[in-house]
Structure formats: structure tokens, C-alpha cells
Structure 1
Amino acid sequence: MISSQNYPEEPSIKMNPKNPAIIVAGANLNNFYYSSDTGRTWNRGQLTSSHGVWGDPVIEVDTMGNFYFFHLSNPPTGNWIDRIVCQKSTNNGKTWSDGTFIGLNGTKAQDKQWSVVDQKTNTIYLTWTQFDSYGSSSPSDSSIILFSKSADGGMSWVAPKRINKIAGDCVDSDNTVEGAVPAIGPEGEVYVSWAGPDGIWFDRSIDGGQTWLENDIFVSSMPSGWDYDIP
């Protein structure tokens, strides 16, 4: 066990590609951990940011050994989960920057982010769900999948782009579009898949996210959905 302090859950973990002995992890709501001996021993801390820290941790690492901690926000001024925050560590997870953010769009909620790094360029690609009004069952509120990227180590981000064609509801359940995960192909292609009202969907960009397929590709239905109780 690494630690049970501060009730950790939803862990994310990455290894430094330059030195596999170095491992960094994160867990809800604001826990971070780092090891320099392949996980035999660990140190822990609690992440802070002026943008607030509200879970959904995603740890990423580039080819230079810089680590990134993506999470939801809870700013002292603003709205709960109104942006995705990216904090960076250049010393193997010991300390973290205050962070940059992506997706701020009024009162809309930004949630369920995931990232990938292009191993040839170190460009960081990020996808997530935007809710018009989180938890709303109103037919006038919808959820969509957004995409952004950073070519300067998380210092700045391009304006978010919607990549899905079929919107979901805002209930945060089976009919919400969520779980967008990006991946990089051998020639720098950007692949993204997510769950929606009809099942699993897929989209692709071959120009670094500038343009996407005219129509999303349907992959598979999910008869039981993704939101279910665990006994």
C-alpha cells in the first residue's frame, strides 16, 4: 500500500521514460505520490492551486521526464469544475506549478478529462466532456466532447474544439457523452473514443487536431450502459 491518508481513490500513475525507477501517481481529491526506487518506497503530498483542486486525477509524462497532473477545478472565485487544470512538475513529482487551465466557458462544467503525449513532438493532447449544466435533466441542456492541445509543455493551450457530432444529456449517466480517451498513431494521428447515448464512438484527426472526420464512427453498442451499481 502506498498510503491510505486523505481517502485516496481513482488513482492515476506514470513512469518516467528517462528513468523507470521514478514513478508519480495521483488520487482523489488532491493527493500526489512519488517514488525514486521503482515503487519500493513512496512520498506523498497534497496538491494545491489557485484554480482549486477537485479530483479526477490524470498523471501524464513527456519524453523529457516532465510530469503533468490534470484535474478538475474548484476556484475560490468562479464556478465549481468550470475548467480543466494542468499542473506541471519538473522534479519528478516533488513540487508542482500553480497550473494553467483549459476550457473555461462561463458556468458550463468541464469534466472527465484524459490526456496523451506525442512521443515524437511532446505535444500534449487533451479531451474531456463539457456540460451545459452538470446534473441537469432538462432537454435544453447537453454534453459534448472537447479537444485541446499544448505544444509548449502545458504553458498554453489552443482554443477547445468540439469533436463529436451527437450530443448527450447532462445527467452524468448512460446518455451523457463521457470517457473521451485520446491516443496517438505512428504518424502522429490523433484517435479519440468515448461513450455516448448509443454506445462507443470514434473520431480521428490526421493534422494534429485541426480537422476531424465529417462523421463520427460508431464502434459498438453498450446494452448495459456504463453507469451501473456495484454490489
Structure 2
Amino acid sequence: MINSHTTRALVTMGLACPASATASAQASLTLPPLPRAPAAHVVTITPPGRTGSEPAIALNPYNANQVVAAAGAWAAYSTDSGRTFTPVQPAGEGGHGGGDVSLTFDDKGSVFLSFLSIQKNGLPGYWGHGPGGNGIWVRRSPDGGRTWDRDPVAVKVWTGDEPDVKLEDMPRIWADAEPHSPHRGNLYIAWIEWQLTQSIILFSRSRDGGRTWATPQRISTKAGFPRDDNGAVVGVIGTVAPDGTQYLVWNEGLNVTLTRSQDGGKTFEPSRPIFDVGPPYFGGASGIPGVSRTMGFPQIGLDGRRGTLYVTWSDFRNGDVDVFISRSDDRGHTWTPPLRVNDDPVHDGADQFFQWMAVDPSDGSVYVQFYDRRDDPASRKTRVTLARSIDGGKTFTNYAWSDDPFEAQNAFLGDYEWLTARDGRVYGVWTEAAEPRRPTIIRVGTADFGAKR
């Protein structure tokens, strides 16, 4: 996908400071180094000879030693809580594989990998114009990612011979593993469908452990534009409350939109905007230096003990890109004003981007991972920062997580990273550009806040 967004200086929800003032402030500012995340450990998991972007990671809630990560057509599993990983190829030689992966563990401890497979793309930007065969697939591993079912299960597939082929894109899968939910065991998946004249959000569910999937239904009340960098509906993701209620969010132009299902994904409330944000895509000549394209798609998380919902995203309302969070204490009806998660000075010209959020179900701690350029006045060198809140998202402490910084030099970093947390341990996965010719590699970071609750 190609981003032609060229209005970064036209800040949607505030005034950008002049470039000269930003550069001056950034050059004269010396920030103290961030504290290192406790027990921080970072490992490269990319198989030899492979590259990767748009990774996902999941932790087995019933076995803290099992961690699975994936990117593209390959995956990697860990049996030691993320210290080391063994790469595997879930698709097998010549099998179905693809991109835009996501992962989830179900209530029985199986892990599911969703992905898209595209034989022929549509026009860049206008993905619903002239695509060929494509589809959304799900594959299962019963043993923590060591082995995978030989054949994936199709959720929605186009052969390419139909007269009205659409492009299915960016699937996200999640599971209801809540002990007291009436829908425990259900699997859910949602994605974007690019059509010739619009974009919509589709949803499907499985009630038999991923063996079959229901006919997809549209859940976006309002359609988006057909171009991905100009008012499309993009970045859908969901979470499940202890009572089985699902909450889903996505970008709909210049707002974040939410819908709920209280019957296990059979029906949904009309989707509605919950607050305004800046454009979800920013990149290119007027975007973040050295990055061909970046995103600010939202994520939603839930503290099941308090009933608090959180949504995080990034935008450039302050002139440079920052990470924000909002919370709701009334099941998504009202939301707090945006709170800035990164704690460098406002308007300092440093970009923070590609955020991902996770809420620890054991204690309600909120974690947000993001790329961070506060240490480089030239805004080129990038590190990964981990932010943590232990007061319900009211304040955040920022921690250094990754090792040496990297420079992307216009490498494609993808559209997202991923993060998960449980029992004070945090597991993140992200893309870095590596020497000598800037291939992209996938790295997993772990941190342990067990002693800092």
C-alpha cells in the first residue's frame, strides 16, 4: 500500500509549531535517558535468509512458557517465556501463507493464526480496483506453535474469476476465553473489504474451534472511501469482556469508531464515532523522516476487574507524531480527553509512532509499546519504548526497551507491531531495519514487572 498523505503540517486538532522553532527546541533540549525496562531482553527471531514486517505475538494464558510470534509466511515458538525462539513455517512447502498476520490462544490452549493470501493486488491505494484471487484464512496449532494443521480454513475467499472481486485485507483474530462468558470458546475475526467505490468492515465467528466460520457480516454502519490513505475504514480490532461482550474499534476517516456485540457476535449495535483523531496514515515526503509509511490505527483493551475500556492511537495534532490514550468507565458510552503517553516535551519535534497496547488481566496495568525518536535531534534513529500505567491510564512511566537504535532509510516497516501482557510479564514484537542493505528483521522484547506492582 502507498501513502500519499501530504498534510502533516495541517494538524487536525491543534496548531503545529513552526519547523524552525521545533528544530531549535529539539537541538537545545537534552533529555535524561529513560530507565531500562526491568529484566528487559530482546532477541531477533527472523529465520536465516528471511525478512519480515507486520508481526504478531501471543502468550498461552494456561502456560506462561509458551509464546508464539509470526510475520508473513513464517512463525516462531518459544518454550521458555520468550527467551529463545525456534522458527517454523506453518504453511509448509507450497501451502497457503501470506501477510497481515494475527494470533490468539483459545480457551483450550490452541493458538490460531489468521492471515491474508493474495494472488493479485488491486491498484496501489485503490485496492478494490482490479484485484485477483485473494482471501482470509485461519490455521491452528494445538501445541504452542510447534506444529500446525496441514490445511488452513477459509473465512472468505475469491478465486479471481468472479465478476465483482473484492480485496479482503488486514484480518485480526481474537478469542473468548473468559471463564464466565456464555460464549466461551468462540473465535472472532474482523477485517477490511476494499470495494470499487467504498471500504467496509466485515466480521465472522467460529463456534466449533475454528473448523468452520460463519458467513461474513458487515458491521461498519458507515462505509469509508475506497482509498486507504483518505477516509477509509481501517485498522479494526476487538476485545472481549468477562461477560462475553465484544468491543471493536477502527479508524473511520478522522475519528475512532466503536461497535459492540452482546450475543457472541451474532448481532452488533450500529457503529458510532467515539472521538476525533488525526488522519491514521502519515508518511511520504511530508511524514516521518526515513519511513515510507506509518500508521496510527487504534487498539482497544479492557481491564475486566474494573470494567475500564482503553483505546490508544497516534496522530500529529502537536506537530510531531505522539501516542495517545483515552478510557471509558461506562462500557464505551463516554470517553476521557486524550492523554499523551510518551513523556518527552510537547512540540519537541520527536516522533513517536506505531503504537500497540496491552492490558494485563492479572492486575489491570496498561502497557503501550511504540517507536521513539526522542534521542535523535535529526529524527532518524529509532528505538522501541515501553510505557506502563498502574493507575488506570491516568499517568504513564516510559521505559527504554530495545537495544541499539536503527535507521529505517525508507525500509517498509509495515502497518503495525504487537504487544501482550500477563502476570506482570510483557511481550512485544516489532520490525527493525538491519545492515548491510536494510532488510527488515523481527525482534521480540520481554520485560518483567512482577516485582514492581
Alignment counterpart, residue 153 of structure 2, candidates 100, 105, 120: 100
Please give the alpha-carbon distance, in whole angstroms, between the structure 2 residues aligned to 1:176 and 1:47: 32
- Alpha-carbon contact 2:193-2:200 (below 8 Å) kept: yes
Where does residue 154 of structure 1 map in the other structure?
A: 210
More contact order relative to length (CA 8 Å, sep ≥ 6): 2
Please give the alpha-carbon distance, in whole angstroms, between the structure 2 residues aligned to 1:3 and 1:116: 23
The one-letter amino acid paired with 1:36 is T
Post-superposition offset of 1:197: 1.8
- Alpha-carbon contact 1:174-1:196 (below 8 Å) kept: no
SS in 2 for 1:72: strand
Query: Does the alignment pair 1:176 with 2:232?
Result: yes
Post-superposition offset of 1:63: 2.1
Larger Rg: 2
Query: Does the alignment pair 1:222 with 2:277?
Result: yes
Where does residue 21 of structure 1 map in the other structure?
A: 65
Matches within 5 A, 1:39-78: 39-48=82-91, 52-74=96-118
Where does residue 114 of structure 1 map in the other structure?
A: 172
- The percent identity for this pair of structures is 29
SS in 2 for 1:57: strand
Please give the alpha-carbon distance, in whole angstroms, between the structure 2 residues aligned to 1:142 and 1:197: 12
- Alpha-carbon contact 1:63-1:122 (below 8 Å) kept: yes
Query: Does the alignment pair 1:33 with 2:73?
Result: no
Query: Does the alignment pair 1:88 with 2:140?
Result: yes
Q: Which runs of 5+ in 2 are unaligned?
A: 1-42, 121-130, 179-183, 290-453
- Alpha-carbon contact 1:68-1:86 (below 8 Å) kept: yes
List per-residue Cα deviations over 1:124-158 (Å, max 9, x = no partner). Answer: 1111111114xxxxxxx111001110011111011
List per-residue Cα deviations over 1:45-85 (Å, max 9, x = no partner). Answer: 22326773221110111121101110111359xx6562211
Total equivalences in the alignment: 219
Where does residue 129 of structure 1 map in the other structure?
A: 192
Post-superposition offset of 1:220: 1.3
Post-superposition offset of 1:184: 1.0
Q: Which runs of 5+ in 1 are unaligned?
A: 134-140
Please give the alpha-carbon distance, in whole angstroms, between the structure 2 residues aligned to 1:69 and 1:109: 19
SS in 2 for 1:37: coil
The one-letter amino acid paired with 2:89 is Q
If the length of structure 1 is used for normalisation, what is the TM-score? 0.87
SS in 1 for 2:208: coil
SS in 1 for 2:134: coil
If the length of structure 2 is used for normalisation, what is the TM-score? 0.46
Alignment RMSD: 2.0
Alignment counterpart, residue 222 of structure 2, candidates 147, 152, 166: 166
- Alpha-carbon contact 1:21-1:38 (below 8 Å) kept: yes
List per-residue Cα deviations over 1:180-227 (Å, max 9, x = no partner). Answer: 1111122111111110124111111111222222x322111123x111
Post-superposition offset of 1:8: 1.9
